[in-house]
């Protein structure tokens, strides 16, 4: 089987981008690094 010879890194390259990104919850910390909740910081800006 072909997939048997692929490493984990190669398998992750086969997945579409939307499967690699986690959904950001409204109450999670904002990924911009401000330390504020996502819903208060960048959610309304539509950055992420």
Q: Write the pLDDT tens digit of every residue in 9-47.
A: 555 555 555 445 678 999 999 999 999 999 999 998 888
Question: Which is nearest to 36 in space by CA: 23, 45, 25, 27?
Answer: 27
Which carries the bigger pLDDT value, residue 41 or residue 5?
41
- The predicted structure's pLDDT at residue 47: 80
Q: With beta carbons less than 8 A apart as the criterion, state whether 31 and 38 touch.
A: yes
Which carries the bigger pLDDT value, residue 37 or residue 2?
37
- Compute how many other C-beta atoms are within 10 angstroms of the C-beta atom of residue 38: 20
- The predicted structure's pLDDT at residue 17: 55
CA within 13 Å, CB half, 8: 0
- The predicted structure's pLDDT at residue 5: 57
Distance of CA 26 to the CA centre of its chain: 14
- The predicted structure's pLDDT at residue 22: 79
Q: Which residues pair with 37 in a beta bridge?
A: 29
């Amino acid at each position: 089987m072909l997939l048997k010879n692929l490493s984990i890194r190669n398998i992750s390259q086969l997945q579409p981008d939307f499967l690699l990104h986690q959904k950001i919850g409204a109450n999670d910390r904002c990924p911009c690094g401000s330390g504020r909740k996502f819903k208060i910081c960048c959610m309304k800006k539509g950055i992420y």
